[in-house]
Amino acid sequence: MRKTILLLSLLNCCLTLPAFAATLAAFTPSLECENLIVEQINKAQISIDAAVYAINNPHIVNALLNARKRQVKIRILTDKLQASNKYSLVPFMYKNGLDIKVNSKYKIEHNKFAVFDYSAVITGSFNWTNAASLKNSENCLLITDEPQTVKDYQTRFEHLWLVNLKSKSDKRLEKK
């Protein structure tokens, strides 16, 4: 009887363990973060919402353009000064039909996160730039199987998208 109770206690313990989020950390200089982002973009079927300070990485931009061709809904919010940088690919993406806003609300749009299909988030210090991949010491974290965290990032993105004006953004990007 004691052995049965002990066995049932052990089984109960093991069967009621909490679920944990799946995370994967990557670091630069290397192609790890770039590859994680491109992989998530390529897997996306519904939507990609990204708030990213600087964008000039052609591999990431090409993956975004290909996702658009697959009818993935893409929204990108970026920093106004970085978008006007001579190396920025933001004007190129805008001219190629991606839905982009440049920050008009805050002094700097310094976020670096993306939500993929309402089910995964990549966040960290990694800018979507060549320097971030090849020269800088940066990090990124892929988070899956954590619905509340994904929802928190999606909610923040929706807020940022709402408070930054499309009319101001379009004027700035059309000048490029």
Active site members: 110, 112, 117
State the Cα–Cα distance between residues 21 and 18, nearest whole angstrom: 10
DSSP-derived 3-state class of residue 167: helix
- Report the b/e string of 22-40 with b at 16+ CB within 10 A: eeeebebeeebbbebbbeb
State the Cα–Cα distance between residues 174 and 64, nearest whole angstrom: 20
State the Cα–Cα distance between residues 101 and 123, nearest whole angstrom: 19
